[in-house]
Amino acid sequence: MSRAGRIARRTFLVGAAAVAGGLAVGYYFYRKPFPNPLEDGLAEGEATFNPYVKIGSDDRVTVIVPRAEMGQGVATTLAALVAEELDVELDAIVVEHGPPASAYANVTMIKDGLPFPVFDESTLANLARDGVGVVGKFLAIQGTGGSTSTTDAFERMRQAGATAREMLKSAAAEKLGVAAGTLRTEAGRVVDPASERSLSYGELALDASALRPPSDAALRPRSDWRLLGRSQPRTDMHAKVTGAPIFGVDVSLPDMLFATVRMSPRRGARMVSIDAAEAEKLPGVVKIVPLRTYLGEGYGVIAKSTWHAFRAADAVEAEWGEAPFPPDDAGIWSELQRAMETDAGTALRNDGDVDTALADAPRERVVEAEYRVPFLAHATMEPMNATARFADGVLDIWAPNQAPTLLRTVCAREAGIEEAACNVHVTYLGGGFGRRLEADYAVFATRLAMEAGGAPVKVIWTREEDITHDMYRPAAIGRFTARLGENGLPEALDMKIAAPSIMASVMPRFYPALSALGPDATVVDGSYNQPYRIPNYRVAAVKAPLPLPVGFWRSVGNSYNGYFHECFMDEIAHSSATDPIELRRRLMTDFPTALGAIEKVADMARWGDPLPDRRARGFAFTLSFGSWVAEIVEIADTPEGIRIEKVWIAADVGTALDPSIVEAQLFSGAIYGLSAAMNQEITFADGMVEQSNFHDFDAMRIHQCPQFEVAILENAGRMGGAGEIGTPPAVAALANAVFALTGKRVRQLPLSREVAFA
């Protein structure tokens, strides 16, 4: 067992006890399966087999995909899991999100929050993972995040399809008077090959659903898959090319009012005064409502249209108090710096004896560097929004959201009602990237609905409100030291990273009475758990006490640790005059999956071949969310600035259930990372965010978009995620390419601080 494991376990136990609030008492409760939430909402003639499958007597098969569709294709892939086992075609089923319910808890998401590298297969790591499975179910968080949806659903939803299939066969066997074992299923029918008689699922559904579910329905072996492992047409594509009203902003209800909010531009500051007299006189205004909530203060404007609300909100005069954090970047960085210097942090990886190895290192063998990354906004294409109606003691919320059970908890609490009186309707998401795990926009909508006399209120934020009121990707500082051995390989690597803790920031937004104890693995995620063997290897996390709202941003800690770790590796390679890929070959000999991805990408790009003038390449590798990803970025020096010409990605995801969707996620993730690496930063002045819209917080445009070549590998033993894994290595590979092209080692993002992009 590694030392990292021992340290982590102790702190984990403290954290788990706090989170679970009495694990032992809850044990029996967890064992009982959750009730099937579909039982309450069945239509005439409709039957439900389990929380994932409904079949109507009209043969309509509905599959519940209780995860947020935010572009990552989860609706298609998870529906295919059920369809595969149930023997129905994907275009013959209806996919619904379903109600928020404990039955849909995402256990994998919580498991992956544990401080163990994925390759740590020690008993301890597995035990803890199983233990947290209990915690996850106990808390019953239905979340879409951490690239866990597919992994989490892989067994469960195939099982749901297989169980329903077997029940349908049993019902048919009874009707046909033959043994169930002789029957087949295909295209929504149970067939008796001997007599060539068949019955449709619709004819069998009511009887079948009354049967006892078998506990041993066999899952199809991979060799028999018809749908899985092959690219499927996405179930949401038609709606998305025809402009169908599927998003949160598109919710339309009778007598609906429109609204917007303006919360304190200094996050966490009080609203000292508000003067709405002029604004109230503007046409179209229904009501201006001061908002004082546990998530911040400000005001909302209810109006006859969104535009009327925006205009009146501009006309309100309000004064704001001081921000509870240093008001500008200089102060924020020095706070981070101080945390770095005064706090020893928690070593989440600690192999060998780093202190001794570094103590007597000869000067010329030491490589040292300090890196920084800025705060970042998510800037989902669809601005934050939610629609709420509070009538007769019942609260209904329509929202594009990644964690509906949490959303229900906070909104019901805000309205002072039982959760049972709060219905959450999840729409399609115009982008999530982690921002929509939060529920702030729904809490504000709840408050406005409580002032609207029972009318539904659709609350849409301006882009300016969205950029200035995000839960940002944390800024971070990393300080790194390496000692090189005679052979040029690092003998010791010491990494210390300080950042505001995401867990400490997120937790009180949902459970104000709870605090996140113990270390926060997200601070070093992507640095402490990489598949390198270095004899003395320490990675310490410092939780910087900065009360700025930070949150999950596509690939979370990996988004900057990929940059830290892999750019510093590039520095090590450069210092020892070793080719960067060769360095990895030598340090990753114990990890064939990593090597496989690296060799593949090197092959694809013909790494090592001479390049034309004014071109250069960078390489990086990051293991994140259980997937092993190597990327090469090629850039060119042009008169307009640096152009990103081409990106090669080789990703080992273990099992790729839908290659087209995985490919799309890989280049999507890379573009998201490249956008940030090139130009994005959120900065502060006078306690307020300085950026406000796409003119000063832009992202990659089509003319900046490189060509992509993607290879999907399936050698890893476990299935990994896909939605976030393209992001971390893209950032580092671009920075390394910039070094190769210009000789500038840019140690603070965005790269545009030091070089210009075309």
Partner 1 sequence: MRLTVDGKTIDIDAEPEMPLLWALRDLAGVLGPKFGCGIAACGACTVLIDGAPVRSCILPVAQVEGDVTTIEGLARDGTLHPVQQAWLDGQVAQCGYCQAGQIMSAVALLDEIPEPTDEEIDSAMSGNLCRCGTYPRIRAAIKRAAAMRAGA
Interface ranges with partner 1 (CB under 8 A): 69-73, 231, 233-234, 236-243, 245-247, 249-250, 252, 258, 283-284, 304-307, 310, 379-383, 428-433, 460, 462-463, 660, 664, 667-672, 675, 693-695, 698-703, 705, 707-708
CA distance 635 to 749: 17
Helix intervals (H) in 343-394: 354-359
Least spacing, CB of residue 463 vs ligand FES, in Å: 8
Nearest partner of 643 among 604, 612, 683, judged by Cα: 612
CA distance 94 to 610: 53
CA distance 753 to 746: 8
Token pair listed for 384:
């934050």
> 122 contacts which partner out of partner 1, ligand FES, none, CB within 5 to 8 A by kind?
none
Specify the residue, 536 or 704, whose C-beta has the smaller distance to partner 1: 704
CA distance 9 to 13: 6
| β-pair type (684-685, 184-186) | unpaired
Specify the residue, 68 or 190, whose C-beta has the smaller distance to partner 1: 68
Specify the residue, 351 or 382, whose C-beta has the smaller distance to ligand FES: 382
β partners of residue 399: 426
Token pair listed for 322:
């001081």
> 262 contacts which partner out of partner 1, ligand FES, none, CB within 5 to 8 A by kind?
none
Return the SS3 of 707.
strand
**Residue 183: Cβ within 10 Å count:** 22
Which whole-number Å values give the CA distances from 176 to 170, 198, 210, in the listed order? 10, 9, 18
Least spacing, CB of residue 622 vs ligand FES, in Å: 23
Nearest partner of 750 among 642, 630, 634, judged by Cα: 642
| β-pair type (707-713, 641-652) | parallel
> 402 contacts which partner out of partner 1, ligand FES, none, CB within 5 to 8 A by kind?
none
CA distance 61 to 68: 20
CA distance 412 to 578: 59
Could you give phi then psi for residue 422, rounded to 5 degrees?
-120, 120
Specify the residue, 599 or 698, whose C-beta has the smaller distance to ligand FES: 698
> 575 contacts which partner out of partner 1, ligand FES, none, CB within 5 to 8 A by kind?
none
> 621 contacts which partner out of ligand FES, partner 1, none, CB within 5 to 8 A by kind?
none
Least spacing, CB of residue 430 vs ligand FES, in Å: 6
> 708 contacts which partner out of partner 1, ligand FES, none, CB within 5 to 8 A by kind?
partner 1
Least spacing, CB of residue 382 vs ligand FES, in Å: 8
Q: Which DSSP category does 550 fall into?
A: B
Specify the residue, 72 or 198, whose C-beta has the smaller distance to ligand FES: 72
Task: Report cis status (omega within 30 of 0) of the bond before 750.
Answer: yes
Which whole-number Å values give the CA distances from 18 to 73, 106, 127, 509, 638, in the listed order? 35, 19, 18, 16, 55
User: CA 73, 379, 699: angle at the middle one, nearest 5?
Assistant: 90
Token pair listed for 311:
């205009």
Least spacing, CB of residue 381 vs ligand FES, in Å: 4
> 258 contacts which partner out of ligand FES, partner 1, none, CB within 5 to 8 A by kind?
partner 1
Distance of CA 485 to the CA centre of its chain: 39
> 239 contacts which partner out of partner 1, ligand FES, none, CB within 5 to 8 A by kind?
partner 1
Least spacing, CB of residue 285 vs ligand FES, in Å: 23
Specify the residue, 403 or 489, whose C-beta has the smaller distance to partner 1: 403
Least spacing, CB of residue 216 vs ligand FES, in Å: 42
Token pair listed for 236:
């949401």
Least spacing, CB of residue 633 vs ligand FES, in Å: 22
Least spacing, CB of residue 359 vs ligand FES, in Å: 51
Specify the residue, 203 or 236, whose C-beta has the smaller distance to partner 1: 236
Token pair listed for 380:
């989902």
Distance of CA 722 to the CA centre of its chain: 10
Specify the residue, 264 or 727, whose C-beta has the smaller distance to ligand FES: 727
Cβ-proximal residues to 639 (8 Å cutoff; 6+ apart), any chain: none
3-state class percentages of the chain: helix first, strand second, coil last, to nearest 5: 40, 25, 40
Specify the residue, 383 or 490, whose C-beta has the smaller distance to partner 1: 383
Task: Write the DSSP assignment of 43-69 as a string of letters.
Answer: PTTEEEEETTEEEETT--EEEE--S--
User: CA 467, 470, 473: angle at the middle one, nearest 5?
Assistant: 110
> 212 contacts which partner out of partner 1, ligand FES, none, CB within 5 to 8 A by kind?
none
Specify the residue, 138 or 428, whose C-beta has the smaller distance to ligand FES: 428
CA distance 326 to 199: 70
Least spacing, CB of residue 504 vs partner 1, in Å: 27
Specify the residue, 245 or 453, whose C-beta has the smaller distance to partner 1: 245
284 burial level (CB within 10 Å; 0-12, 13-18, 19+): middle
Least spacing, CB of residue 705 vs partner 1, in Å: 4
> 249 contacts which partner out of partner 1, ligand FES, none, CB within 5 to 8 A by kind?
partner 1
Least spacing, CB of residue 256 vs partner 1, in Å: 9
Per the CB < 8 A criterion, the answer to whether 556 and 523 are in contact is no
* Amino acid occupying residue 24: A
Specify the residue, 240 or 586, whose C-beta has the smaller distance to partner 1: 240
Rounded (10°) angle between helices 404-415 and 440-449: 40
Element (H, E) at 643: strand 641-652
- What's the sign of the alpha-carbon dihedral 305, 306, 311, 316? positive
Q: Which residue is nearest to ligand FES (CB)?
A: 381
Least spacing, CB of residue 633 vs partner 1, in Å: 14
Least spacing, CB of residue 411 vs partner 1, in Å: 23
Specify the residue, 346 or 468, whose C-beta has the smaller distance to partner 1: 468
Q: In which residue are the tokens 């301890």 written? A: 124
Least spacing, CB of residue 229 vs partner 1, in Å: 17
Specify the residue, 165 or 311, whose C-beta has the smaller distance to ligand FES: 311
β partners of residue 372: 477, 748
Nearest partner of 718 among 627, 617, 637, judged by Cα: 627
Specify the residue, 163 or 679, whose C-beta has the smaller distance to ligand FES: 679
> 129 contacts which partner out of ligand FES, partner 1, none, CB within 5 to 8 A by kind?
none
Specify the residue, 116 or 672, whose C-beta has the smaller distance to partner 1: 672
Per the CB < 8 A criterion, the answer to whether 491 and 535 are in contact is yes
Give the residues lining the site for ligand FES (CB under 6 A): 71, 381, 431
Least spacing, CB of residue 170 vs partner 1, in Å: 38
Least spacing, CB of residue 195 vs partner 1, in Å: 40
Specify the residue, 448 or 482, whose C-beta has the smaller distance to partner 1: 448
Return the SS3 of 104.
helix
